[in-house]
Amino acid sequence: MTELFDDLSPSPRLLMGPGPVDVYPRVLRAMSVPMLGQFDPEFTEYMNEVMALYRQVFRTQNHWTLLVNGTARSGIEACLSSLVAPGDTVLVPQFGRFGFLLSEICGRVGGKIETIETDWGTTFPVDQIADAVRKHRPKVLAMVHGDTSTTMAQPIEGLAEVCREVGTLLYVDATATLGGMPVEVDAWGIDAISAGLQKCMSGPPGTSPVTLSEAATEAINTRKHIEGGIRPEGYVGASGPRISSNYLDLGMLMDYWSPKRLNHHTESTSMLYAARECARVVLGEGLDAGHTRHALASDALRAGLQAMGLELFGDEANRMANVTGVYIPNACGNGEAVRAQMLSDFGIEIGTSFGHLAGKIWRIGTMGYVCHKPNILRCLSSLDAVLRRNGYDAPVNAGVDAAYKIYEGAGQ
């Protein structure tokens, strides 16, 4: 018997976890636009526009600015597996869960991994990373920008100098920061960077913007290769070791995004529409204005949480501007009852954490479309009410009042 289930009808949610978050209505609408063929001139023009839009989002002049058709993780893997060949040394400074991910991806493709570590909740002084680069002289320095697992943002500025000095390529994972904090690809000298849509770009997870410097492009082109079945007679690929993935081979993706339009996958039409619209919304507001909005919302949220007597997690100096870690008060055990009631009774999702922070901190996201005063106030007042029912009494109205005060101080 055929079982078809019901029409999609999700409950209304306010997504204030570490992502995915609520999607801009314009982006939701873009995804319901009808298909075009992948080689339709109108569609390839949209691909070119996406390249131009993400150059602006990434603040770069890089020609090769394109989408990898998968979630943010696919963009990370496309960059790293295209750059790192078996035996290449990669330095991964780890300050949270996603540093482990970068190490793992590079290890799987045969990279020789060197790491430095710091306590979760802290980041590295730039000098410490520079010393490690000089010591290991890696082919690639692979760096998470904002690690949502710890809510910390690693300063990237200043790393390119030492990378140039020893001939290292600088890769940055900006999944969680792009659109929410400054990400200055050219000014910071980043060679390869990937992101997702589902955080501060306020789109759906499912496609990953990537941009590559000339140096990164050259490195990838030493491994370039055209697929059997579409290669010209007598074709010989580049001499470097073949990239272990076909799907995530950035050399092939560049051919597909070039005027050659050499067929690879079939570009994910609806996700490209979404990515295009995300960029148009974010650039329409203005990157700087967006960053200010995120910083202000975080200030308000943090002031509110502290006024409620809660303790924030991690070094203040390098907190991300779009997600806040807060210790779960003792009265609330591992915090899961509070999270469940926030969701079921107030329609608000907040996050737990990973590894040794699971059950110790909640993570409250203020990303993209979500990151507006009414949502900050709604989150604080709801949390106040739920905590009260779970044995933790904050001073009456203190959280909301403190947040109001921050917004009023900013004239809002």
The letter for the amino acid at 233 is E
CB 178 within 8 A of CB 199: yes
Angle subtended at Cα 305 by Cα 367 and Cα 25, rounded to the nearest 5 degrees: 20
Which is closer to a copy of itself, CB of 352 or CB of 398?
352
Q: How many CB atoms lie within 10 A of CB 230?
A: 11
CA 266 to CA 7: how far, in whole Å?
28
Spatial separation of the C-alpha atoms in residues 194 and 174, rounded to whole Å: 6
Residue from 262, 268, 263, 264 nearest 71 by CA = 268
CB 332 to a copy of itself: min, Å: 19
CB-nearer residue toward a copy of itself: 362 or 392: 362
Residue 335, by phi and psi: left (phi above 0), alpha (psi -120 to 50) or beta? left
Closest to a copy of itself by CB, 56 vs 128, is: 56
**Cα 372 to Cα 22, 85, 116, distances in angstroms:** 12, 44, 37
- Which residue lies nearer to a copy of itself by CB, 50 or 296? 50
Among residues 120, 129, 209, the alpha carbon closest in space to that of 173 is found at: 209
Query: 188, 159 in Cβ contact below 8 A?
Result: yes
Q: Is 86 helix (H, G, I), strand (E, B) or coil?
A: coil
Torsion angle of alpha carbons 25, 287, 159, 326, nearest 10°? -60
Tell me the C-alpha distance between 160 and 168, whole Å.
Answer: 9
Which lies closer to a copy of itself via its Cβ, residue 77 or residue 299? 77
Q: Output the smallest distance, CB 394 to a copy of itself, in A.
A: 25
Rounded Cα distance between 302 and 143, Å, is: 26
In whole angstroms, how close is the CB of 110 to a copy of itself at the nearest point? 8
Q: What are phi and psi of 149, to 5 degrees?
A: -65, -30
CB 119 to a copy of itself: min, Å: 14
Name which of 60 and 149 has its Cβ closer to a copy of itself. Answer: 149
Contact (CB, 8 A) for 134 and 105: no
Minimum Å gap between C-beta 49 and a copy of itself is 5
Q: Which is nearer to a copy of itself, 255 or 277 (CB)?
A: 277
3-state secondary structure (DSSP) of residue 92: strand
Distance of CA 214 to the CA centre of its chain: 23
89 or 245: whose CB is closer to a copy of itself? Answer: 245
Q: What 3-state DSSP class applies to 169?
A: strand
Select 55 or 402, whichever has its Cβ closest to a copy of itself.
55
CA gap 295, 320 in Å, rounded: 9
CB of 383 to a copy of itself, least distance (A): 16
**Nearer to a copy of itself by C-beta: 41 or 411?**
41
Which string of DSSP letters, residue by residue, matches 218-236? HHHHTT--PPTTTSPTT--
Minimum distance of a copy of itself from residue 243's CB (angstroms): 7
* CA-closest candidate to residue 365, choices 354, 349, 381, 380: 349
Q: State which residue, 149 or 217, has the beta carbon closest to a copy of itself.
A: 149
